[in-house]
Amino acid sequence: MNNKNGYVFNVEEQTDNCIKWIKHWFNNCSGNAKGVIIGISGGKDSTVAAKLLCEAIGSEKVLGVMMPNGQQKDIHDSKKVCEMLKIRYTTVNIQESYQAITNSIECSEFEYSNSKSINLSSHTLTNIAPRLRMTTVYTIGQELSYRIVGTGNLSESLVGYCTKYGDTACDFAILSTFTKREVVKIGEYLGLPRDLIQKEPSDGLSGVSDEENLGFSYEVLDKFIRVGVCEDKKIKEIIKNRWKINNHKRNIQVPHYNSEISICIN
């Protein structure tokens, strides 16, 4: 990937560096983990991430978990990824948990409300599933002594297109420095099937594509991220505003006033 502004994405070098980093992290920073768990959605991010894991630590140490909320129309793609990469996989349907927590909240009384009840918005409902999936993979991970890999990319993170303590919760995030289009380039370089890595990006929850939800394309977003160029001034402001208001998802704040206090662990 190259352009007149001088930005070059060397896919061979970046892929090799990523694989080396994963291997180093697993061997030196994972707390003697026996393997890793990855949520498999059937989309490009989890597909590319799973392939990178297999290249770095071996498919025998990778467990794929599929977590449909009821019926998932493209779950065959998730199974295809696991079988193609020869990784073990399991399916945990979160529908009953989703319905139980939703009903429980909506039936609870809230003193600040005139009606003493709460009706969850569609946006709030959409974010419940990723948090239940986080609970699922961490439960399995704790039992097996496996670590959880995050599959979010830089493009999603910068505009907050992710769920705090949902898909952002992980032990290591291997795609977090790559834009959406760079993830595709890595997938192509690794020889992954075109129908998986060129698949229209969708959260699988809201019923529409990522780009419909965002109001702009990843091509426009990624160009703005890497070279600072966005021809449409309206979209440019939307992207900048989303970056600003979603900063809380990227940075968990800690007190700075007691930085003088010593930590004496040697």
pLDDT score recorded for residue 1:
43
Residue written as token pair 């419909």: 212
pLDDT of residue 250: 85
Residue 151's contacts (CB-CB under 8 Å, 6 or more residues apart) are: 38, 39, 41, 45, 46, 49, 167, 173, 174, 175
Q: Are strands 146-150 and 35-39 parallel, antiparallel or unpaired?
A: parallel
In a domain, 178, yes or no: yes
Yes or no: say if 38 and 152 are a contact pair by the CB < 8 Å rule: no
Tell me whether residue 197 is in a domain. Answer: yes
Q: CA 115, CA 138: separation in Å to the nearest integer?
A: 36
Q: What angle do CA 255, 260, 264 make, to 5 degrees?
A: 105
pLDDT digits (tens, 9 = 90+) for 137-147: 999 999 999 99
Residue 44 lies in a domain: yes
6 CB-contact burial (10 Å; exposed 0-12 / middle 13-18 / buried 19+): exposed
Determine phi and psi for 91, rounding to 5 degrees. -125, 130
Q: For residue 211, what pLDDT is reported?
A: 84
Residues of the chain with pLDDT under 50: 1-2, 4
What digits encode the pLDDT tens for the residues 169-205? Answer: 999 999 999 999 999 999 999 999 999 998 886 666 6
> What is the model's pLDDT at position 264?
60
Can you give the pLDDT at residue 256? Answer: 66
Q: Which domain holds residue 175?
A: 11-250
CATH number for the domain that contains residue 197: 3.40.50.620
Q: How many CB atoms sit inside 10 A of residue 63's CB? A: 21
Query: Is 81 a member of any domain?
Result: yes
| Torsion angles phi and psi, residue 102, rounded to 5 | -65, -50
Q: Which residue type is seen at 148?
A: I
Please tell me the total count of domains within the chain: 1
| Nearest-10 crossing angle of helices 180-189, 44-57 | 50
Is 187 inside any structural domain?
A: yes
In a domain, 257, yes or no: no
Q: Answer whether residue 4 is part of any domain.
A: no
Please tell me the predicted confidence (pLDDT) of residue 165: 96
CA-angle at 82, arms to 201 and 213, nearest 5°: 15
**Would strands 146-150 and 172-173 be described as parallel, antiparallel, or unpaired?**
parallel
Residues 139/26, Cβ–Cβ less than 8 Å: no
Half-sphere exposure at residue 23, Cβ-oriented, CA atoms within 13 angstroms: 13
pTM of the model: 0.89
